[in-house]
Each structure stands twice: as structure tokens, then as C-alpha cells.
């Protein structure tokens, strides 16, 4: 017999499923649609579902695009460096330069003291205020008042996001901050734009830094010496400040350094920890007051002291956003000689307001350095006018800055602002007040440029953000509504629904485009024509869908049963993680915990099966295996920075390395033997280990061994292992062998195996002699779809295995086993249709973390991009990176149709079976959409959070990427996998209504007779 474990019972279980019942015309629920249900031909269902999922890709991509555009500020990074010997021909009456690069340096040395989060009102006189943070730090305003030619005090306006890392980049490069610096090196936080620290290093001028270790991360290799301190522990108000006090002045006094930088964090931490309205803040500010006085006492005449805050803080002491309190910091410059133009308005308490990036050209030119290539700031007028207010000196530096900015604009590819630069450099020397007019012209040019750049790069764009929310949210609602319909309605309404939505979208998208081009939305409409047409596309889809849906189904949604409640609970738990930074950080452990809980629930469910059920023992052992596999997968971890010492990395051979330990390759080889056996074990139960299965299982073994060999060779290339044999010492030869293996494996798994898959089935006809009569049986008949589809999953698995690092590969093997266990288990438990896809989706998300990833940019395994190529080349590099990063999610998505297809015999209504698969894919995608939407919403909600760019924004990026990739994979799965397998079975077994196979026959265990009859 094909089936040792109660074939009849199995068939009955299969018969209970909705679509089979429907396909036989027994006990069909009356469809909601008013017209008589006209089920479509299979081919059309197939086509329409491909259309539906393609539609979804487009819809989600537009939504993610809108949000990303509004939230993740982006610009291109140019890595050019300003030359030190730049002869400007346009310069009007250039002064003679003895030493220094672009200008004669005004100071020999400089001390820079950064007081993190020093808000402007902390350092200026606030008469009558008794707030703890007012009038505590008075040294700056006193000096500014008493020695106006020596001290300069101003408001120092930051560009949001007001986080220290982004601010330091701005304060050294002079460019505006963005989250994605496209084209930059994603892997490290190291800075790769031209900046004054680099310029000093390049000119052999020494820089010393102490305090906040962000500097060290950005510029470490350009410092002559440094004493970095950990910046993340906001509970500690003293360690960093005491460290700065201990090191900064001695470093300056030693005379070894041209520039000494100190960065204190006490004020910032006091704000985060206690808020500004606390005695701790007074204490900290007074301490800073004393320290500045101490520095001033030890200054010599040729030293410039610069004190500033990199950003402010809001009323609760946090920062990151763009409120006035957060962006208004303090800038104070002082030297013992007369050097600066006095502030005329000081008597009225007026202070100049200066953008932070202005510090960059100012500092560069005061110290005689080239202005960094990307700078957008302007020199501070007072610093160059000098005590005598000589406009000629200022005009000279302004011309240098304008020339640098124009050079940058040309290189970046901006428009020419209507020839503004040409007009600016044209000097009319006949007029009186020539220098004044040069000054005002150049300021005009530089500020126009800055305004243009700022409007292009540096704003959260709430219109886009909310459009993104609306689109992703509506796609979620559409999917949920559609997946909650009875299956007959899903299939019956597909055609009309697609037609309605499609027609409507194809009308609105061009209409919106046209309206936007003619400016019909008014002046303040935030999107250009192309984005507007994207919006129109979504609006049209929504409109068509709702019209049809409300007319026919508004009352016909299935009621929620226990399974659905479980689905909602699981989704809510995952979605709720992003409400807290701690939960987001520990998502890896929490997902494992969630998975264990699901496994435990399944175990109880299995125990509830009546003891008469022959599969009860198997269900229990499967669910225990589910728990064990979950725990095993949780062993492999990559810690992220925020985990601190509560976590140790097991994914790589040690916490501080990023190479894989040799034992992992041994595990990979072991897996290559085990997994094919396990697959065979799962297939053998339904007699499906025949036909194409034999070939594919051997193929799987071959692919897995090749991958193991690949990583074995890699151990020699990375010199983890050494062997005296000359073959294993020849790195170049080994690399070539690796490359060959990788390309063969990719070619086999992604192309060859899939083509051969299309023509196979895991069935075999067996002839036996019974009572003297020749009989034929079809082995594998009861699992005709599932077995063959599993082979397709294994093809994808092979490709993912190749691009996973060894331990990641081991985890993928475990995931494959986990998926098969889950599918068999859910089949026995007969869980409601919606729960399986969600469990698989959670599984995929959990294994994402097991395969050495985190929701952070540094954890992306960039080196995998070079598995199959030596240089970056499309598409191999990109494909490898996507398969590596999102492999677990992809594998889960590809496996989702198995939940429907596993262990059912051929059905008559293929189109209903197809609709059922499509519905389960919709649930899976809906889950990812919910997670992505939540990540986006909370990233926006926490945009002022201290760690938004470290925690929430990267999590959103992961979510957005996962959603798009899962969408695309869903198209492949539905269009290629599910469509082909159902079509193939339909053709082979003739299960269309007109053929002679009737429902009852499939319940008989001895199917061979039918087969013979068909012949």
C-alpha cells in the first residue's frame, strides 16, 4: 500500500478541507456573491493571481518608497578632497600667503571643547529666570561683554537630526546630515567625506582628541593621540567629563598638538537622565563654567579656544528632532589677542545666529587649511572682519569659499542657480564700497546654495511619511479583507475584483499625473508628477476594490475562530515590539520566545488529538521537535552593539572576529548527509520518494556537499586552517576553485534544477499481482502536489545555503527541517488556514537572527557579495546579498503553499486549490506588511529618540526591504511554483470535471485501478 498510516483517515482529513469539499460540490457554503458562482478556468485563475501579486509588489513598493523618501534623508557622497595648493584665478586682489594653504593662518593652535547638548539659553544671561539651567554657565557671556574684541558668542543652529554622530559629521565636513549617504561605505561609521581633521592629518598637523568615542569611531586613524570614552551610558554623568579634564589641558600644554579636541557628555547625560529642570544640571553647568575658566587661564596668545554644543535638548532633556530647543546650541570663540569684530547688538542682548556648518570654513581658514570639499557653510563674518571691521579680509575668504562651493556644485551636478555664481564673481571695481558689495554678493550666493541643498536633503517630509503610512496600511487592510473571504468567493470574485481595481487604477494614475503636471493640486502640493501618479495608482486600486467589495461582500467575512485569534495575537506581539527600544534590540530573543510559545501551543494541541488518531504520537513528537529546533536555532547569535555585555556572539569564532570557526564547516558536512535523509523520511510516509524525488534528493546531497567544500576551501583562504600541501597554500588557485563551485551551485539550484523540476512528479506506477489479477498502484498519489513542491523549496534552499556563512548554513539546514516538521504537524492538527502562514513567517523572521544578522547596517554580511564574483557585478553580487540577508524569510515564503498542498491527492477544481494557495500567500505577506508598518510608524513616533538612527530607522529599513523581497518572492512562488505544480498534476491525472475520475474513487486506497481505468 502506498500509505501505512491509515490511508482512509488521511484521505478523509484531506477531504475535510474546504476546497476539496467545494470541488466535489458537496456541502458548499452558499457563496456571498449575488450571481451564480462561475468558477474560472484554471489558466485564468493562474494569470489573475500573478497579476494580483504583481499588483501588490507595485502597491507596496510605492508605499515603502513614499515613506522612505520622507523619512530617510539621502544625498550622494562625493569622496573628493580639496587640494592644499589651489590657485584661484577669479580671486579679486588675492593677498600674499607665506605659509598656510588657502589663507595665512591666524592662530598657531586651537582647543576645541564640545559640551554635548549645550543649549543656547544655558550660556546666555537670562535675567529673572530661576530655572536650574539658567545663569549657571556665565563665563561666555561675561567675556563677550567685557572683551568684545577677544570673545565671540552666538547662537549655533544645528541641522536635524540632532544626534551627535550626525552633528559631528556636519561640524567637520560642512555638509548637511542625512541618514543614507548613498554611495558611501555602509559597513562602517568611518567618515569618507573630506573634513578638516583629515586635512590636518594630510598636512602633517597633529590632532589630539579625548572624551566621546564617536570622534574616535569617525576619525580614529587621523588622530595623533586620543583618549576615547564610552558615550552610550547615559546613567554616568562623570566618567567622560573627568577624563576630558584629566587629559585635555595637559595635551594642549605639552605643545605636541596643533589641535586639541575635548568632548564632554555630562550635560547631555544629565538631560537624558534627569531632564534639564534638575539640580544636577546646575551642578554640571557650573562645573563646565569653572573648567572653561581654567582653560582660558592657561591659553597663550596664539591659541584659539572654541566651545560649542553640538545640539540642544528639548524640555525633557532628549534630542534628535528639529524643535527650536533641540537645534539651538551655543558657539563661543575666544583668544587672548584682539581678533574678532565686536557684536554691535550686545547691549540689547542680541546675538548673531549662525548655522553650525559655518564653523567648518571658519575654522579651516583661521587655521590656514583648505576648506573641505563638500562644505556648504560660509565663513563667520566677525571672525574675519577683525577688530577694525575691514571688509577686504572678509571678501577674500568669502571668494575662496564661494569658489569651493561652486566647485562642489558642479561636481555634484546641481543646476547653476540661474548663473548666480557668474554674477557673483563679477566685480565692479569702479563703484564705491566695492568690498562691501563683494561681501554681500558672496553671502547671497552661499546662502542661496545652502537653502537649495537644505530643501533637497534635510527635512523630514511628513506629507510623504503619511502617504507611506496610508498606502502600506491600506494594502494591509485589502489583504486582510481578501484573505478573510470564503475560498469560493476568493476564486469567484478574483476576475471582477482585478478588473475593477485595475481599470480604476489605470484611469487614476495617468489622471493624477496629468493633473499634477498642470499644477491642478495647487502650489503647496508636496509631490512631483511621478510620485503623484504613484499615489493615483494606489487611490485607484483602493477605489475599484472598495466599490466591488462593498457591493458584494460587506457582510460575508468569516467569523474569527480560535486559530484566527492566535494569528492576531502572534502578529500583535511582533508588532508591539517596536514600541520600545529594548524590545526592538532584543527582537532576536523575543522571537525565539514567541516561537517556543507557539511550539508549546502546538504541543498542547497535539496532545488534545483523540488517542484513536493514529497520527497523535507523530504530532506530539513533531511539536517537541519544533521546540527543540527553536531552541537550537537560538544558540547561534550575533550581538549588536546595544546588547552590551549581556550577550556574546556565537555566530563567529569570537566576539571580536568575523570569521567562522572551523567546526561549523564540519557541521555543514554532517548536515549534507542528514538533510537528504530527513527529506526522504518525510516523503517516504506518503510513498512519494519515487519519480523525480530520487533524482532531486541525490542532487540535494551533491549541492550541499559542494557548498561544504566551498566553505572548507574558504577556511584555507582565510588562513583559519593551514596545510603544508602546496595545493592548499595556493590562495589564488583556491579562490578560483571556490568561484567555480559557487557558480556551478548557483546555476544548478536557480536554473537547471528548476527547469527539470517543471517536468517531474514524485509518483511511480507499481504493478502487483493480487489474487491472480494484475493490478497497478500509483505510489505517491496521496501527496502528489506537496512532495513535488517540496523539491522546489529545496532548490531555493540550495542557493541560499551557498550564500550563507557556515554556521548560517547550518541554521538554514535546521530551518529547512523546522519547516518540514511544521508543515507535517499542521497537516495532522488540521489548523485553520490562516495560522500556518503566520507561523512560517515568524519562523523566517526568527532565523534571520540565527543566521548572523541583526536589524543594523553593520551586521550586513557584505563579504558574501563576492561569493560568486571577484568584483561587484550585477546581478550576482546583489542576488547573493539579498539571498544571504533575507534567506530565512525567503525560504519561509517559498514554503508557504506547502501548507495547502501537503499530502492531498489530486483535486478536481484546480482553480480552487490555486486560490487556496494564493490566499495563504496573502496571509504571509499581510503579516510582513503589519510588521513593516509598525516599524515605520514607531520609527516616525520615535524620531526624537536618542537612538532613532541606531535602532528604529534600521529596523524600518529591514522591514521595508523584507516586505518588497517577500512580495517579489510571492509572485515567483505563485506564478512559477504553485501554477506549474497544479497544472502539471491536472494534466497528468486529468482532474478536470470532464474527466472520469470521480470524488469517491480518491477515497479508495487502491488507486491503481483508477489509474488503469484512465489508461
Q: Which residues bind another protein (CB under 8 A)?
A: 235, 580-583, 585-586, 589-590, 592-593, 596-597, 599-600, 604, 607-612, 627-628, 630-631, 634-635, 830
Closest by CA position to 850, among listed 914, 900, 804: 804
Measured from the CB atom, is 194 or 268 closer to another protein?
268
What residue has cell string 543656547?
A: 120
* CA distance to 151, 293, 713, per residue, from 289 (Å): 15, 6, 61
Measured from the CB atom, is 452 or 632 closer to another protein?
632
For the CB of residue 315, give the shortest distance to another protein in the complex, in Å.
22
Measured from the CB atom, is 27 or 875 closer to another protein?
27
Measured from the CB atom, is 583 or 695 closer to another protein?
583
d(CA 413, CA 604): 64
Closest by CA position to 626, among listed 815, 800, 901, 893: 815
For the CB of residue 931, give the shortest distance to another protein in the complex, in Å.
18
Number of CB atoms found within 10 A of residue 995's CB: 12
Measured from the CB atom, is 554 or 582 closer to another protein?
582
Measured from the CB atom, is 234 or 972 closer to another protein?
234
E strand residue ranges, 125-204? 151-157, 180-182
For the CB of residue 593, give the shortest distance to another protein in the complex, in Å.
5
Measured from the CB atom, is 563 or 979 closer to another protein?
563
For the CB of residue 596, give the shortest distance to another protein in the complex, in Å.
5
For the CB of residue 891, give the shortest distance to another protein in the complex, in Å.
22
d(CA 471, CA 684): 46
d(CA 184, CA 190): 10
Closest by CA position to 854, among listed 639, 549, 537: 639
For the CB of residue 588, give the shortest distance to another protein in the complex, in Å.
10
Number of CB atoms found within 10 A of residue 35's CB: 9
| 206 prior amide bond cis, ω within 30 | no
d(CA 794, CA 699): 10
Burial of 407 (0-12, 13-18, 19+ CB in 10 A): middle
E strand residue ranges, 46-100? 74-76
Measured from the CB atom, is 425 or 951 closer to another protein?
951
Measured from the CB atom, is 610 or 875 closer to another protein?
610
**DSSP string for 867-894:** SS-SS--TTHHHHHHHHHHHHHHHHHHH
- Contact (CB, 8 A) for 320 and 944: yes
For the CB of residue 590, give the shortest distance to another protein in the complex, in Å.
7
For the CB of residue 648, give the shortest distance to another protein in the complex, in Å.
10
Measured from the CB atom, is 605 or 896 closer to another protein?
605
For the CB of residue 624, give the shortest distance to another protein in the complex, in Å.
9
Q: Which residues are CB-neighbours of 612 under 8 A, at least 6 positions away?
A: none
d(CA 3, CA 6): 7
d(CA 793, CA 757): 11
For the CB of residue 988, give the shortest distance to another protein in the complex, in Å.
33
Measured from the CB atom, is 304 or 619 closer to another protein?
619
* In 766-873, alpha helices (H): 784-802, 806-829, 835-850
For the CB of residue 377, give the shortest distance to another protein in the complex, in Å.
37
d(CA 317, CA 945): 11
d(CA 881, CA 895): 21
Measured from the CB atom, is 411 or 631 closer to another protein?
631
For the CB of residue 268, give the shortest distance to another protein in the complex, in Å.
17
Amino acid at each position: 500500500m502506498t500509505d501505512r498510516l491509515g490511508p482512509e483517515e488521511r484521505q478523509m482529513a484531506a477531504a475535510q478541507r474546504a476546497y476539496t469539499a467545494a470541488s466535489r460540490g458537496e456541502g458548499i457554503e452558499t457563496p456571498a456573491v449575488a450571481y451564480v458562482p462561475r468558477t474560472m478556468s484554471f489558466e485564468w485563475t493562474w494569470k489573475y493571481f500573478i497579476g494580483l501579486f504583481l499588483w501588490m509588489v507595485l502597491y507596496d513598493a510605492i508605499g515603502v518608497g513614499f515613506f522612505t523618501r520622507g523619512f530617510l534623508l539621502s544625498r550622494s557622497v562625493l569622496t573628493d578632497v580639496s587640494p592644499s595648493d589651489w590657485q584661484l584665478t577669479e580671486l579679486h586682489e588675492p593677498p600674499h600667503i607665506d605659509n598656510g594653504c588657502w589663507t595665512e593662518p591666524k592662530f598657531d593652535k586651537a582647543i576645541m571643547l564640545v559640551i554635548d547638548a549645550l543649549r543656547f539659553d544655558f550660556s546666555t544671561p537670562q535675567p529673572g529666570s530661576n530655572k536650574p539651567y539658567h545663569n549657571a554657565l556665565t563665563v561666555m557671556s561675561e567675556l563677550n561683554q567685557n572683551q568684545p574684541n577677544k570673545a565671540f558668542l552666538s547662537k549655533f543652529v544645528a541641522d536635524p537630526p540632532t544626534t551627535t554622530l550626525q552633528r559631528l559629521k556636519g561640524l567637520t565636513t560642512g555638509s548637511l546630515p542625512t541618514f543614507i549617504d548613498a554611495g558611501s561605505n555602509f559597513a562602517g561609521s568611518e567618515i569618507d567625506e573630506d573634513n578638516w581633521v583629515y586635512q590636518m592629518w594630510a598636512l602633517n598637523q597633529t590632532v589630539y582628541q579625548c572624551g566621546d568615542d564617536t570622534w574616535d569611531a569617525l576619525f580614529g586613524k587621523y588622530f595623533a593621540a586620543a583618549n576615547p570614552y564610552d558615550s552610550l551610558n547615559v546613567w554616568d554623568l562623570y566618567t567622560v567629563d573627568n577624563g576630558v579634564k584629566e587629559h585635555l589641558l595637559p595635551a594642549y600644554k605639552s605643545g605636541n598638538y596643533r589641535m586639541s579636541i575635548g568632548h564632554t557628555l555630562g550635560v547631555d547625560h544629565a538631560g537624558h537622565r534627569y531632564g534639564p529642570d534638575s539640580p544636577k544640571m546646575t551642578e554640571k553647568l557650573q562645573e563646565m563654567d569653572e573648567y572653561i575658566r581654567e582653560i582660558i587661564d592657561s591659553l597663550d596668545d596664539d591659541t584659539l579656544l572654541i566651545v560649542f554644543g553640538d545640539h540642544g535638548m528639548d524640555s525633557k532633556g532628549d534630542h534628535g528632532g528639529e524643535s527650536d530647543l533641540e537645534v539651538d546650541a551655543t558657539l563661543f570663540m575666544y583668544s587672548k589677542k584682539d581678533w574678532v569684530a565686536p557684536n554691535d547688538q550686545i547691549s540689547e542682548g542680541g546675538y548673531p545666529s549662525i548655522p553650525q556648518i559655518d564653523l567648518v570654513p571658519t575654522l579651516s581658514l583661521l587655521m590656514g587649511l583648505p576648506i573641505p570639499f563638500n562644505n556648504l557653510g560660509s565663513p563667520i563674518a566677525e571672525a574675519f572682519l577683525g577688530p577694525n571691521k575691514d571688509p577686504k579680509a572678509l571678501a577674500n575668504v568669502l571668494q575662496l569659499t564661494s569658489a569651493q562651493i561652486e566647485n562642489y556644485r558642479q561636481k555634484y551636478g546641481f543646476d547653476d542657480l540661474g548663473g548666480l555664481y557668474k554674477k557673483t564673481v563679477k566685480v565692479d571695481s569702479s563703484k564705491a564700497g566695492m568690498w562691501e558689495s563683494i561681501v554681500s554678493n558672496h553671502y547671497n550666493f552661499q546662502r542661496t546654495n545652502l537653502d537649495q541643498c537644505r530643501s533637497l536633503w534635510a527635512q523630514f517630509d511628513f506629507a510623504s511619511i503619511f502617504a507611506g503610512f496610508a498606502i502600506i496600511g491600506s494594502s494591509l487592510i485589502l489583504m486582510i479583507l481578501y484573505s478573510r473571504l470564503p475560498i469560493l468567493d476568493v476564486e469567484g470574485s478574483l476576475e471582477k475584483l482585478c478588473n475593477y481595481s485595475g481599470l480604476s487604477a489605470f484611469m487614476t494614475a495617468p489622471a493624477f499625473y496629468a493633473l499634477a503636471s498642470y499644477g491642478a493640486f495647487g502650489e503647496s502640493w508636496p509631490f512631483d508628477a511621478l510620485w503623484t501618479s504613484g499615489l493615483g495608482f494606489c487611490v485607484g486600486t483602493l477605489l475599484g476594490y472598495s466599490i466591488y467589495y462593498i457591493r458584494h461582500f460587506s457582510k460575508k467575512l468569516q467569523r474569527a475562530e480560535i486559530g484566527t485569534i492566535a494569528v492576531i495575537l502572534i502578529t500583535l506581539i511582533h508588532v508591539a515590539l517596536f514600541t520600545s527600544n529594548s524590545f526592538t534590540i532584543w527582537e532576536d530573543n523575543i522571537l525565539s520566545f514567541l516561537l517556543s510559545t507557539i511550539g508549546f501551543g502546538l504541543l498542547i494541541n497535539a496532545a488534545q488529538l483523540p488517542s484513536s488518531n493514529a497520527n497523535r504520537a507523530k504530532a506530539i513528537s513533531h511539536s517537541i521537535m519544533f521546540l527543540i529546533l527553536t531552541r537550537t536555532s537560538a544558540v547561534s547569535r550575533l550581538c549588536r552593539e546595544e546588547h552590551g555585555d549581556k550577550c556574546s556572539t556565537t555566530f563567529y569564532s569570537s566576539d571580536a572576529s568575523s570569521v567562522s570557526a572551523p567546526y561549523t564547516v564540519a557541521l555543514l558536512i554532517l548536515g549534507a548527509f542528514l538533510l537528504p535523509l530527513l527529506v526522504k523520511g518525510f516523503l517516504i510516509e506518503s510513498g512519494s520518494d519515487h519519480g523525480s524525488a530520487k533524482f532531486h534528493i541525490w542532487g540535494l546531497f551533491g549541492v550541499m556537499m559542494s557548498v561544504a567544500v566551498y566553505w572548507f576551501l574558504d577556511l584555507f583562504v582565510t588562513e583559519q586552517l593551514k596545510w603544508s600541501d602546496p595545493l592548499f597554500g595556493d590562495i589564488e588557485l583556491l579562490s578560483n576553485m571556490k568561484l567555480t563551485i559557487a557558480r556551478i551551485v548557483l546555476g544548478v539550484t536557480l536554473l537547471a534544477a528548476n527547469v527539470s523540476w517543471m517536468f517531474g512528479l514524485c509518483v511511480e506506477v507499481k504493478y502487483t499481482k493480487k489474487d491472480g489479477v494484475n493490478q497497478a498502484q500509483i505510489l505517491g498519489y496521496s501527496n502528489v502536489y506537496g512532495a513535488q513542491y517540496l523539491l522546489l523549496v529545496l532548490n531555493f534552499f540550495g542557493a541560499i545555503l551557498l550564500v550563507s556563512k557556515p554556521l548560517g548554513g547550518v541554521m538554514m539546514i535546521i530551518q529547512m527541517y523546522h519547516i518540514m516538521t511544521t508543515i507535517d504537524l499542521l497537516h495532522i492538527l488540521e489548523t485553520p488556514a490562516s495560522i500556518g502562514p503566520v507561523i512560517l513567517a515568524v519562523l523566517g523572521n526568527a532565523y534571520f537572527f540565527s543566521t548572523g544578522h541583526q536589524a543594523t547596517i553593520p551586521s550586513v554580511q557584505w563579504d558574501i557579495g563576492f561569493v560568486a564574483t571577484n568584483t561587484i557585478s550585477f546581478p550576482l553580487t546583489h542576488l547573493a546579498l539579498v539571498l544571504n540577508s533575507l534567506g530565512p524569510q525567503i525560504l519561509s515564503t517559498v514554503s508557504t503553499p506547502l501548507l495547502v498542498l501537503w499530502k492531498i491527492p489530486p483535486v478536481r477544481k484546480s482553480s480552487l486549490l490555486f486560490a487556496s494557495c494564493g490566499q495563504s500567500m496573502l496571509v504571509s505577506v499581510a503579516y510582513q506588511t503589519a510588521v513593516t508598518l509598525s516599524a515605520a510608524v514607531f520609527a516616525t513616533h520615535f524620531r526624537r529618540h536618542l537612538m532613532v538612527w541606531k535602532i528604529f530607522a534600521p529596523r524600518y529599513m529591514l522591514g521595508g526591504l523584507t516586505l518588497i523581497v517577500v512580495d517579489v518572492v510571492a509572485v515567483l512562488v505563485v506564478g512559477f511554483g504553485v501554477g506549474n505544480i497544479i497544472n502539471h498534476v491536472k494534466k497528468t491525472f486529468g482532474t478536470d470535471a470532464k474527466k472520469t475520475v470521480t470524488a469517491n474513487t480518491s477515497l479508495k486506497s487502491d488507486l491503481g485501478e483508477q489509474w488503469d481505468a484512465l489508461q
